[in-house]
Amino acid sequence: MHTATNIVRTLIRLTGLVQIVLGVLFWTGNARGLIPLHQLVGFGLVLSLLVMAALAARAGVNPGLVALAVVWVLVVPVLGLTQDRLLLGSAHWVIQVLHLLLGLGAISQGEALAARILGRQVPAPQA
């Protein structure tokens, strides 16, 4: 479980970093053609969070934290795919900030679940 957790944690970190870099490019008015890539990498992020939630459930992590991550996995893509139709005009920045916060929350939840999984494991004795 230790290896799987670290692999998924690394995927969450990498996809999260790519998402943040792409998001900054979009907010500065650049690279709008990369929005499909942003969506694809976002799906990778939420799928990684879903796998982390499954690993956490198997490791006996608090079911409430696991359930929160699963709900997050459902909410993030819905907002991401519909945000261009929400609060159009001068108030659209609210949706953009919410989108950013949900993404950062997904990364944070993945990190928190990984820490709890790894914290429950007893290290192998050293010879």
- CB neighbours of residue 26 within 10 Å: 15
Gap between the Cα atoms of 8 and 45, Å rounded: 10
- Radius of gyration for the chain, computed over Cα atoms and rounded to the nearest angstrom: 16
Domain edges within the chain: 2-120
User: pTM score, two decimals?
Assistant: 0.89
pLDDT 10s digits, 39-67: 999 999 999 999 999 999 999 999 999 99
Considering all CA atoms of the chain, what is the largest pairwise distance in Å, rounded to the nearest integer?
65
pLDDT 10s digits, 76-116: 999 999 998 988 899 989 999 999 999 999 999 999 999 99
**Listed range (25-39, 55-69, 113-127) with the worst mean pLDDT:** 113-127
Among left, alpha and beta (phi > 0; psi -120 to 50; other), residue 29 is: left
**58 token code pair:** 């198997």
How would residue 1 be classed by pLDDT, with cut points 50, 70 and 90? confident
pLDDT 10s digits, 15-25: 999 999 999 99
